[in-house]
Amino acid sequence: MDTNRIQIFDTTLRDGEQVPGCKLDTTQKLVIARQLELLGVDVIEAGFPISSPGDFKSVREIGLAVSEPIVCALSRAVKKDIEVAADSLKTAKRARIHTGIGTSDSHIQYKLRTTPERIIERAVDAVKYAKSFVEDVEFYAEDAGRTSNEFLAKVIQAVVNAGATVLNIPDTTGYCLPNEYGEKIAFLRANVKGIHKCVLSTHCHNDLGLATANSIAGAVGGARQIECTINGIGERAGNTALEEVVMIMRQHEGLGLYTNINSKLLLETSHLVSESMGMVVQPNKAIVGDNAFAHSSGIHQDGVIKRRDTYEIIDPAEVGVDESRIVLTARSGRAALAYRFKNLGYNVSKVQLDDLYQEFLRVADRKKEVADMDLEDMISATV
Ligand code: KIV
Ligand code: ZN
Secondary-structure class of domain 7-277 per CATH: alpha beta
Q: Is 145 in the pocket of ligand 1 (CB under 6 A)?
A: no
Q: Which ligand is nearest to the CA of 169?
A: 1
pLDDT of 3 reads 85
Pairing of the two strands 70-76 and 7-10 = unpaired
In the chain, where the domains are located = 7-277, 294-382
Q: How far is CA 284 from CA 223, 262, 295, 322, in A?
A: 29, 22, 12, 17
The string of pLDDT tens digits covering residues 159-217 is 999 999 999 999 999 999 999 999 999 999 999 999 999 999 999 999 999 999 999 99
Cβ neighbors of 112 (< 8 A, separation 6 or more) are: 101, 102, 119
Nearest to 137 by CA among 194, 85, 210, 186: 85
CB neighbours (10 Å) of residue 251?
12
Rounded to whole angstroms, the Cα distance separating 382 from 354 reads 12
**Atom 5 in ligand 1: which residue has the minimum CA distance?**
142
Calculate the CA dihedral of residues 208, 212, 215, 220 and round it to 10 degrees: -120
What's the confidence (pLDDT) of residue 14? 98
How far apart are alpha carbons 239 and 227 in whole angstroms? 8
Q: Which residues of the chain have pLDDT under 50?
A: none
| Residue to probe by mutation, ligand 1, list 51, 96, 142, most atoms within 8 Å of CB | 142
CA geometry: angle at 35 spanning 5 and 96, to 5°? Answer: 55
- Phi and psi torsions of 50, nearest 5°: -70, -20
Do 45 and 98 meet the contact criterion of CB atoms below 8 Å apart? yes
Q: Is 234 in the pocket of ligand 1 (CB under 6 A)?
A: no
Query: Which of 143, 171, 203, 236 best tests ligand 1's pocket when mutated (most atoms within 8 Å of CB)?
Result: 203
CA angle 199, 83, 60 (to 5 degrees): 80
What percentage of the chain exceeds 70 in pLDDT? 99
* CA-143 nearest atom, ligand 1: 3
- Going from the Cα of 249 to the center of ligand 1, the distance in angstroms, rounded, reads 24
Pairing between β-strand 294-295 and β-strand 325-326 as defined by DSSP bridges: parallel
